[in-house]
Amino acid sequence: MMGKKYRVEFKTSAERDLDELEAYLIEECSAPMTARRKFEDLDKRLDWLESFAELPAIHFNLSYQYGIIARTIPFGKKMAIIYTVENDVVNILRIVPQSMIIY
């Protein structure tokens, strides 16, 4: 069963999160293979969101931080994508460690 097709767009804050994650893994941890695996997993999650973005539950507690009704989906072992769905657009707001999210 295929879901509706969504367009995924990154907010500036999410782009900055990705840049920081990549720099941390490659430069500080000297782990380019880990960075590669992490970003491959992120790509899989983004592909999934293109069809099924409205399936994960809305987390109303996140609205206090982001001022809107937000959803979250994990990727990798310890990361999460925070996003909203508006019409046919998935807005990626942040990409953060799951430990930073207060539910």
Domains, the chain, in order of start with CATH, read: 7-100 (3.30.2310.20)
Strand 89-97's sheet: what is its strand order? 7-10, 89-97, 79-86, 70-75, 58-59
Global pTM?
0.86
Strand partners, 84: 91
Q: Using one digit for the tens of pLDDT, what is the confidence trace for 10-49?
A: 999 999 999 999 898 888 888 888 888 989 999 999 999 9
Contacting residues for 7 by C-beta, under 8 A, at least 6 apart: 50, 88, 89, 90
